[in-house]
């Protein structure tokens, strides 16, 4: 979409999607879903969609752009019913086209079927081939369409000849590999499913209509529940399947986890919204701990600590509190520049980072500045930001990153760039420092990061940190996934955390 230049300028890893589902008789579920997607907008800015069902028919609207650009009162009005499925998308597999926008909604022999998917199937190619060999046609390049067709057209068997969505979802879960948090809409129920490693987040909540009727919701993050006046119940367990219908909420076993779980650690570093509750922890508090740990590991003599707004602000606060150096704002952010479809001309492109930030000279002039950010991926933004801080009058700029160097690509639903594009893959930390023009540069260690995010640990709980270590949480044909000719093997990541 037309805001790609801004995403590139910010040099951030990008989440795949946000998903939401609701079963709530007596409520305007399309409107509830709209506001929930608005709260989950940070998880995908490329496209948005809502599908609903009234128990007889299903209705759908989706389009390219932000939630507020895709939906209006007129477009919400036809979305009738008491069940809804919503989706925000940023493409990982499948390019940026409307045909890849979600949710997917098709008519099956047992009624409408809608699917919203957050994640990435690492065996999508194999599953896609199996569908094509059975004569199932596919209209997009997205692995999410593969999921839809696997549910709609399973191999012929006694089970497949019955309208048993639970068996179909369970069959899919046993065949799928990789990351998936799914919300599925049928004629009279909402289903949710989470992969057995728990790579992508998913939670369960409750809502109450004006007439006192209880409903249930599924969301990528708890912040979506708070936005619609819902109550957080718990996270969907790895390998769990949930059904929401007139009987309430039913928890089912989808597939038994066979190893420790592996929630993506970047949820804590960057992806999740600061007010989200994850593994019993508020994200903002975890990010403050990351900053405090960074201050312990990489102190520096300075006058002020600032963060790259907004995602690095909690870590900057933590660094300031632990170091005793005052925290202040050094950059002001244009919060609306990402909401336009109007492309900048060449002169504006040359302005670069000025489109997004401007320095607060009163807080920078003559100061030795500690500049906190959550990550450096390609390394094409930090240099302009450092230059901007110097233009604002800073005497010194010391960059501190609240995560380790990103050296490896992600195959589980995160756009982390190709390995050759990652700054830390080929450059040393000092080479990166010279590249960005900082007086000093330091990253949080992997051990420090894992200790900061540990929080309330459950038996068998773990985190995927493969983008930092190259130790992937499941056996991957990395060469095939990366489009390379040589096959590499990576050791398991289990037991790597403090």
Q: Residues with catalytic annotation?
A: 17
Contact indicator for 121, 178 with CB cutoff of 8 Å: yes
- Is residue 12 classed exposed, middle or buried when 0-12, 13-18 and 19+ CB atoms within 10 A define those classes? buried
Instruction: Please give the Cα distance from 44 to 224 (Å, whole number).
Output: 14
**SS3 for 346?**
helix
Instruction: Please give the Cα distance from 60 to 71 (Å, whole number).
Output: 11
Q: If phi over 0 gives left and psi between -120 and 50 gives alpha, with beta otherwise, what is residue 70?
A: alpha
In terms of DSSP H, where are the helices of 372-485? Answer: 382-391, 423-426, 429-436, 446-453, 466-469, 478-482
Contact indicator for 467, 491 with CB cutoff of 8 Å: no
Instruction: Please give the Cα distance from 413 to 15 (Å, whole number).
Output: 7
Residue 103 in tokens: 């949710």
Q: Which residues pair with 85 in a beta bridge?
A: 21, 51
Residue 251 in tokens: 């928890």
Contact indicator for 36, 227 with CB cutoff of 8 Å: yes
- 421: which DSSP letter? G
SS3 letters across 241-288: EEEEECCEEEEEECCCCCCCCCEECHHHHHHCCCCCEECCEEHHHHHH
Q: Which residues pair with 368 in a beta bridge?
A: 396
Contact indicator for 357, 333 with CB cutoff of 8 Å: yes
Query: Which of 304, 300, 356, 297 has its CA nearest to residue 332?
Result: 356
Q: How far is CA 147 from the centre of its chain?
A: 19
**Burial letters for 93-111: b for 16+ Cβ neighbours within 10 Å, e otherwise?**
bbeeeeebbbbbbbebeeb
Residue 84 in tokens: 């809804």
- Cβ count within 10 A of residue 134: 12
Contact indicator for 26, 10 with CB cutoff of 8 Å: no
Contact indicator for 371, 408 with CB cutoff of 8 Å: no
Q: Scanning the structure block, which residue is given the tokens 């093997």?
A: 489
Run of H or E residues at 294: helix 283-297
């Amino acid at each position: 979409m037309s805001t790609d230049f801004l995403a590139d300028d910010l040099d951030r890893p990008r989440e795949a999607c946000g998903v939401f589902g609701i079963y709530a008789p007596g409520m305007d579920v399309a409107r509830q879903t709209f506001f929930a997607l608005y709260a989950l907008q940070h998880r995908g800015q490329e496209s948005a969609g809502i599908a609903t069902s009234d128990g007889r028919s299903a209705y759908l609207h989706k389009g390219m752009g932000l939630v507020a650009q895709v939906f209006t009162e007129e477009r919400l009005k036809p979305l009738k019913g008491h069940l809804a499925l919503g989706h925000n998308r940023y493409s990982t597999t499948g390019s940026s086209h409307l045909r890849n926008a979600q949710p997917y909604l098709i008519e099956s022999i047992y009624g409408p079927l809608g699917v919203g998917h957050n994640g990435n199937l690492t065996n999508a190619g194999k599953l896609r081939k199996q569908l094509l060999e059975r004569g199932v046609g596919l209209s997009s390049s997205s692995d999410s369409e593969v999921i839809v067709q696997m549910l709609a057209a399973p191999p012929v068997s006694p089970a497949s000849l019955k309208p048993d969505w639970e068996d179909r979802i369970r069959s899919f879960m046993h065949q799928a590999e990789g990351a998936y948090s799914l919300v599925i809409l049928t004629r009279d129920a909402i289903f949710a499913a989470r992969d057995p490693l728990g790579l992508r987040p998913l939670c369960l909540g409750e809502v109450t209509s004006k007439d006192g009727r209880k409903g249930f919701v599924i969301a990528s993050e708890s912040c979506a529940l708070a936005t619609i006046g819902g109550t957080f119940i718990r996270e969907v367990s790895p390998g769990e399947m949930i059904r929401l219908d007139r009987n309430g909420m039913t928890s089912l076993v989808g597939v038994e986890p066979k190893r420790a779980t592996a929630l993506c650690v970047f949820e804590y570093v960057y992806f999740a919204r600061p007010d989200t509750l994850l593994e019993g922890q508020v994200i903002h508090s975890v990010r403050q701990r990351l900053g405090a740990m960074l201050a312990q590991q990489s102190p520096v003599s300075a006058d002020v600590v600032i963060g790259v707004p907004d995602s690095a602000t909690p870590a900057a606060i933590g660094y300031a509190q632990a170091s005793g150096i005052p925290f202040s704002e050094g950059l002001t952010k244009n919060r609306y520049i990402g909401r336009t479809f109007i492309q900048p001309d060449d002169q504006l492109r040359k302005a670069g980072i000025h489109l997004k930030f401007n320095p607060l000279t009163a807080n920078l002039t003559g100061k030795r500045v500690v500049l906190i950010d959550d990550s450096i991926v390609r390394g094409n933004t930090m240099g302009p930001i450092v230059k901007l801080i110097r233009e604002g009058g800073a005497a010194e700029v010391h960059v501190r990153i609240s995560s380790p160097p990103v050296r490896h690509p992600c195959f589980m639903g995160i756009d982390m760039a190709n390995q050759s594009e990652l700054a830390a893959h080929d450059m040393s930390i000092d080479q990166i420092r010279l590249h960005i023009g900082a007086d000093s540069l330091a990253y949080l260690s992997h051990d420090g990061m894992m200790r900061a995010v540990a929080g309330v640990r459950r038996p068998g709980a773990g985190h995927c940190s493969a983008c930092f270590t190259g130790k992937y949480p499941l056996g991957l044909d990395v060469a095939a996934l990366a489009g390379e000719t040589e096959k590499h093997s990576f050791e398991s990541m289990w037991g790597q955390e403090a």
